[in-house]
């Protein structure tokens, strides 16, 4: 059953109920608009004249059997302007099997989802997880619709149509949240100590759709934390405090805005949680506190009607995409102020936390890694242990939970393991030269497929376009025609030489090297 007054509303409601997120639904709808103006009986305009049919007459003639060239007439038809004969045949067969008109909106939407979950699975994955309308729109344009004109201008135009739907529907959900109605806020039943702080703004102006977890920089109990925030001089607060012993305190009711994240807009929509932690980097928290945090976050999501907790590890992405009604997102203090809060110990576990909470809520865990693959971020591989030790110290000093492994005669500095590639990607963005590997140590390219890895000592050939590492100048021409040895590898920086030992020739980004 479709719900909504217009085709547009019906399609939006259908797609979001079918598991597309707001960016995905909007990106797909922008393309459908470009194809058919969202009319399921739309016959490609040039064929109206050629065949002598209007949209309605063509549809009726196909339904009645009076027109029997539907499959092979090369005329685009319907929401997605299905054109290619095999897709039109599948559409016709599907309509017949359902006993519906070829122009039936719900039948076409069902067929569209059937296509997406069949041969276009990769597109569907993007539509479920996209963090921008443009990403979703491009996936549909370039991999699903594939019209003759896929130029940058067309990409931009279609994403623009999608953005309008996004603004209208996803932003519409937000407007309703700020309408001033009593929103029925509740507080957690897990609380064992309550002391309400004066440091707050009464009545939040935005419905709860965000959780922001902080480290309190002190191994305190919930009572100690709440008592501290109760002092007016603290000039700060949080909705909840989680203690080192797993105790949970209420400091600012969920209906009110806490003064916690250095950002009013964030705190009006977020439930903020301060967690007892060590006083120095990486600001580790106790097992008891982490367990209590998991319970509290699960409870907050449940009471606020959320079935999914999302962590992107990326400020721009998170703030660009408004969550759906059933989604809770996480933000971190370090995005809004020059602070390391929540500390790397917690920061590195937010992906794990989102995964666990979502699975407890019974929602689908976003993008599970295939067959339990674990991803690690590798920040260096060295022949010389002293060099590896020095890199390890640097990475540790930056607060990462890092370690050294020895494989294939090399000392490798790795961080991880992450069960989701996007969490590893987020780690890789921390400023070191990095690449993502699977646990076994093969390199993984950005689209997630394994590629042959390079190791020190390998014989390699240099790509003829390769510039010198970090610059634009080229190597002497003989270097490009020589067989080279990979002498050192640190992140993307590869040191090459024409000799196995002794003098080196230069450094180059490893993407320009091909193992021979």
In the complex, minimum distance from the CB of residue 359 to Zn ion, in angstroms, rounded to a whole number? 27
Neighbours of 481 (CB within 10 A): 9
In the complex, minimum distance from the CB of residue 334 to Zn ion, in angstroms, rounded to a whole number? 8
In the complex, minimum distance from the CB of residue 239 to Zn ion, in angstroms, rounded to a whole number? 13
Within positions 383 to 402, which residues make up the interface with Zn ion, using CB under 5 A? none
- What does the buried/exposed string (b/e) look like for 13-40 if buried means 16 or more CB atoms within 10 Å of the residue's CB? ebbbebebbbbbbbbbbbbbbbbbebbb
Closer CB to Zn ion, 90 or 340, in the complex:
340
Assign residue 129 a region: left if phi > 0, alpha if psi is -120 to 50, beta otherwise?
alpha
CA 375 remoteness from chain centre: 16
CA 33 remoteness from chain centre: 25
Contact by Cβ (8 Å): 120, 143: yes
d(CA 357, CA 288): 16
Number of shown-chain residues binding Zn ion (CB under 5 A): 3
In the complex, minimum distance from the CB of residue 215 to Zn ion, in angstroms, rounded to a whole number? 7
> Given the rule CB under 5 A, which of 71-79, 160-168, 339-347, 389-397 is the region that contacts Zn ion?
339-347
User: Residue 423 corresponds to which tokens in the numbers above?
Assistant: 């969490």
Task: Map residues 211-240 to x or -, x wherever contact with Zn ion holds by CB under 5 A.
Answer: ---x--------------------------
Within positions 23 to 52, which residues make up the interface with Zn ion, using CB under 5 A? none
Round to the nearest angstrom and report the end-to-end CA distance of the chain. Answer: 59
Closer CB to Zn ion, 88 or 333, in the complex:
333
Q: Minimal CA–CA distance to 11: which of 93, 78, 92?
A: 78
In the complex, minimum distance from the CB of residue 273 to Zn ion, in angstroms, rounded to a whole number? 10
Closer CB to Zn ion, 73 or 274, in the complex:
274
Contact between 333 and Zn ion by CB under 5 A: the answer reads yes
Nearest-5° angle of CA 222, CA 223, CA 228?
Answer: 100
Contact by Cβ (8 Å): 76, 47: yes
Contact between 341 and Zn ion by CB under 5 A: the answer reads yes
User: Residue 238 corresponds to which tokens in the numbers above?
Assistant: 């949080």
Strand partners, 375: 418, 438
d(CA 311, CA 129): 11
User: Residue 64 corresponds to which tokens in the numbers above?
Assistant: 């009645």
Contact between 334 and Zn ion by CB under 5 A: the answer reads no
Closer CB to Zn ion, 75 or 341, in the complex:
341
Contact between 134 and Zn ion by CB under 5 A: the answer reads no
Closer CB to Zn ion, 251 or 484, in the complex:
251
Task: Map residues 139-158 to x or -, x wherever contact with Zn ion holds by CB under 5 A.
Answer: --------------------
Closer CB to Zn ion, 78 or 343, in the complex:
343
In the complex, minimum distance from the CB of residue 230 to Zn ion, in angstroms, rounded to a whole number? 18
Closer CB to Zn ion, 215 or 456, in the complex:
215
d(CA 366, CA 422): 10
In the complex, minimum distance from the CB of residue 177 to Zn ion, in angstroms, rounded to a whole number? 24
In the complex, minimum distance from the CB of residue 333 to Zn ion, in angstroms, rounded to a whole number? 3
In the complex, minimum distance from the CB of residue 464 to Zn ion, in angstroms, rounded to a whole number? 50
In the complex, minimum distance from the CB of residue 397 to Zn ion, in angstroms, rounded to a whole number? 21
> Given the rule CB under 5 A, which of 148-156, 325-333, 422-430, 440-448 is the region that contacts Zn ion?
325-333
Task: Map residues 278-317 to x or -, x wherever contact with Zn ion holds by CB under 5 A.
Answer: ----------------------------------------
Within positions 160 to 179, which residues make up the interface with Zn ion, using CB under 5 A? none
> Given the rule CB under 5 A, which of 64-72, 225-233, 297-305, 340-348 is the region that contacts Zn ion?
340-348
Closer CB to Zn ion, 206 or 339, in the complex:
339
Nearest-5° angle of CA 449, CA 453, CA 457?
Answer: 175
Contact between 487 and Zn ion by CB under 5 A: the answer reads no
3-state SS, one letter per residue, for 110-159: HHHHHHHHCCCHHHHHHHHHCCCHHHHHHHHHHHHHCCCCCCHHHHHHHH
d(CA 416, CA 146): 38
Interacting residue ranges for Zn ion, rule: CB under 5 A: 214, 333, 341
């Amino acid at each position: 059953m479709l719900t909504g007054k217009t085709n547009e509303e019906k399609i939006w409601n259908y797609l979001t109920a079918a598991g597309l997120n707001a960016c995905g639904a909007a990106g797909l709808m922008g393309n459908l608009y470009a194809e058919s103006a969202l009319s399921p009986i739309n016959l490609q305009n040039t064929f109206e004249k050629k065949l002598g049919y209007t949209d309605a007459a063509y549809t009726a003639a196909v339904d009645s059997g009076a027109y029997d060239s539907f499959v092979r007439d090369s005329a685009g038809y319907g929401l997605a302007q299905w054109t290619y004969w095999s897709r039109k045949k599948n559409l016709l067969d599907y309509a017949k099997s359902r006993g519906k008109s070829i122009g039936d909106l719900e039948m076409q939407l069902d067929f569209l989802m059937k296509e997406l979950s069949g041969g276009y699975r990769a597109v569907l994955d993007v539509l479920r997880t996209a963090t921008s309308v443009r990403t979703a729109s491009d996936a549909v344009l370039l991999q699903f619709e594939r019209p003759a004109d896929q130029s940058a201008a067309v990409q931009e135009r279609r994403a623009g149509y999608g953005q309008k739907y996004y603004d209208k529907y996803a932003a519409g959900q937000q407007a309703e949240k700020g309408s001033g109605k009593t929103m029925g806020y509740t507080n957690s039943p897990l609380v064992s100590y309550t002391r309400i702080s004066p440091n707050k703004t009464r009545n939040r102006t935005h419905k709860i759709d965000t959780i922001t977890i902080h480290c309190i920089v002190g191994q305190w109990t919930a009572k100690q934390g709440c008592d501290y925030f109760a002092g007016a001089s603290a000039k700060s607060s949080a909705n909840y405090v989680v203690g080192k012993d797993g105790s949970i305190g209420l400091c600012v009711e969920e209906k009110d805005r806490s003064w916690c994240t250095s950002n009013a807009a964030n705190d009006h929509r977020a439930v903020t949680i301060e967690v007892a932690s060590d006083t120095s980097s990486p600001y580790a928290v106790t097992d008891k506190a982490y367990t209590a945090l998991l319970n509290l976050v699960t409870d907050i999501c449940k009471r606020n009607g959320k079935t999914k907790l999302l962590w992107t590890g990326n400020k721009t992405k998170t703030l660009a995409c408004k969550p759906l009604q059933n989604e809770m997102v996480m933000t971190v203090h370090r995005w809004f102020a020059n602070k390391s809060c929540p500390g790397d110990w917690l920061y590195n576990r937010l992906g794990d936390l989102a995964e666990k909470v979502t699975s407890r809520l019974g929602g689908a865990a976003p993008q599970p890694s295939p067959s339990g693959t674990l991803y690690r971020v590798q920040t260096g591989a060295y022949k010389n242990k002293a060099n590896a030790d020095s890199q390890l110290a640097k990475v540790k000093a930056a607060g990462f939970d890092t370690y050294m492994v020895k494989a294939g005669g090399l000392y490798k500095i790795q961080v991880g393991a992450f069960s989701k590639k996007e969490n590893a990607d987020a780690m890789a963005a921390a400023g070191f030269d990095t690449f993502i590997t699977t646990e076994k140590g093969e390199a993984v390219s950005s689209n997630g497929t394994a590629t042959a890895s390079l190791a020190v000592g390998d014989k390699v050939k240099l790509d003829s376009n390769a510039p010198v590492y970090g610059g634009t100048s080229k190597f002497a021409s003989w270097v490009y025609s020589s067989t080279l040895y990979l002498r050192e590898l640190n992140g993307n920086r590869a040191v090459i030489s024409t000799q196995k030992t002794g003098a080196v020739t230069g450094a180059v980004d490893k993407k320009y090297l091909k193992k021979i």
